[in-house]
Amino acid sequence: MIRHPEYLHLLLVMSFQRALFYYFKLFNQMINSQIYYFFRILKTTFTPFRIFNALKLEISYRLSVIGVSTNWKLSPFFISIEPVNVCNLHCPECPTGMQTKNVKPTNIDDVMTRNVIDELQNTLTHVIFYFQGEPLLNRNFTNLVNYAYSKKLLTSTSTNAQLINDEMAKRIVQSGLDRIIISMDGTTQETYQKYRVGGKLDKTIQAVEFLVKWKRELKSPSPFIEIQFLVLKTNEHQMPEMKILAKKLKADKLSFKTAQLYDFENGNMLLPENKKYSRYELLSDGKYHLKNPLHNRCKRQWKGAVVTSCGDVLPCCFDKDSSFVFGNLNEKSFEDCHDSEKALKFREKIRQNRKQFEMCRNCTEK
């Protein structure tokens, strides 16, 4: 028979264990995704080839800033791959959504995507499955992600989440996608649709719920769910409520992002009052200017590249009209496009005078 003090002792130990269990369970739920994502970044970056490549890029870039060309082959450590070039919404500052460009709807070719990943896998660390269109309109999206994941690459995407139903959420979680950015620019339908024209806030909220549910069901710490709120004049008053909503939805992160606007020199109706969230500032000449200085350099030319759904290799994600195509993957390898004569000339022109390019004048790269 258990004597009274021993019984009490046992009870105390059990309660402590139980409290510890609940603490770790709660702790795990809250930070599992953050920790896992952090380790995925380390794991995909720290391989001998990738570190060597990053060092090579850094040296080559720094020498280029002082006018010394190394002529080394450049292999970026991230690429954006565009799964499809059309969108289901009509956001006013997006050329794809507003259909200002005459494009033929195209899903990226599966074989081409695998080839470019195979070609770059030793030196690449991160594949961003997003450029202009809504990535989930490509039905092969999760297979593309899974292929990059199987090659030990970090993967991410950005979506308006209108197509994430229960089944799609499960497929996304199973694909191994590391990070998903979900655009949610309002806490009421009225405010949300002022920018996400044609979108339903309910669907976006439900998408986060489905993803959280499937992460729990499948005991998966990925994807890291980031809600992104583009701060505009039309929604900035809802930023405090957004913080509450993101917490309630158990998103891993909420970020408030500044918007790139096309017509900004004479002001723009979407410019927020809160100057912290504006890329532009009013100067004494009565015109708005980009806040960051426009130095004659661009590290992004060394770090990254963009592959459109048609296979064009572009200098960066600011080239929304494909004005500076370095080559096409249907005709050449990635390396031949990225180090083509055109690419070298473009980089040299940036070094001489970045302001000569309209897109570089409205770019946050420092």
Under the rule (CB under 6 A), what is the footprint of ligand SF4? 298, 300, 315-316, 318, 354, 357, 359-360, 363, 365
Between residues 179 and 300, which has the closer beta carbon with respect to ligand SF4? Answer: 300
Between residues 109 and 321, which has the closer beta carbon with respect to ligand SF4? Answer: 321
Between residues 41 and 359, which has the closer beta carbon with respect to ligand SF4? Answer: 359
Strand-pairing partners, residue 226, are: 181, 253
- Cα dihedral 178→277→317→188 (10° resolution): 60
Q: How far is the CB of 202 from ligand SF4 (least distance, A)?
A: 36
Q: How far is the CB of 358 from ligand SF4 (least distance, A)?
A: 9
Q: How far is the CB of 63 from ligand SF4 (least distance, A)?
A: 18
Between residues 106 and 296, which has the closer beta carbon with respect to ligand SF4? Answer: 296
Q: How far is the CB of 354 from ligand SF4 (least distance, A)?
A: 6
SS3 101: coil
Residue type for position 243: K
Q: How many residues does the chain have?
A: 366
Q: How far is the CB of 364 from ligand SF4 (least distance, A)?
A: 7
Non-local (6+) Cβ contacts of 252 within 8 A are: 33, 34, 37, 224, 225, 226
Between residues 286 and 341, which has the closer beta carbon with respect to ligand SF4? Answer: 341
Q: How far is the CB of 289 from ligand SF4 (least distance, A)?
A: 16
Residue type for position 304: G
Please tell me the distance from the alpha carbon of residue 54 to that of residue 74, in angstroms, as a whole number.
Answer: 10
Q: DSSP letter for 233, please.
A: T
**Cα angle value 98/103/104 (rounded, 5°):** 130
- β-strand pairing of 126-128 with 78-81: parallel
Q: How far is the CB of 251 from ligand SF4 (least distance, A)?
A: 28
Between residues 200 and 347, which has the closer beta carbon with respect to ligand SF4? Answer: 347
**Cα angle value 193/280/362 (rounded, 5°):** 90
Between residues 48 and 293, which has the closer beta carbon with respect to ligand SF4? Answer: 293
Dihedral (CA of 140, 144, 145, 147) sign: positive
